[in-house]
Amino acid sequence: MFKPAIISFIIVASIYAFLAAFTKIFYTNKPVENLSHLERNVLYDRASVGDRATLFITNLFSSFISPPVYILAIVLAVIIYLAM
């Protein structure tokens, strides 16, 4: 029972961190004043590989306290559990 939950959390957290570090999806509708320096660099395509890696790791660890990640992980775990 726990394996689908853990696997789904890892998948959702990784996708969330990847989208936050390598795309502009999370930053286009936010005011520029509310973005960090790294997020602004991603938004304006000035981020280096090191900036993106730092943002990826930061978002990967912050996904442990992010409710949308948990909600999506629960939904994915239920789907995986029902498919087994």
- Residue 68 burial (CB count, 10 A): 10
CA distance 40 to 25: 12
Q: Record the pTM.
A: 0.84
Mean pLDDT calculated for residue range 57-82:
90
Q: How far is CA 44 from CA 2, 56, 60, 84, in A?
A: 40, 17, 22, 43
Confidence of residue 2 (pLDDT cuts 50, 70, 90): low
CB 17 within 8 A of CB 63: yes
**Res 56 pLDDT > 70:** yes
Coil, strand, or helix at residue 28? coil
Q: What percent of the chain has pLDDT over 70?
A: 98
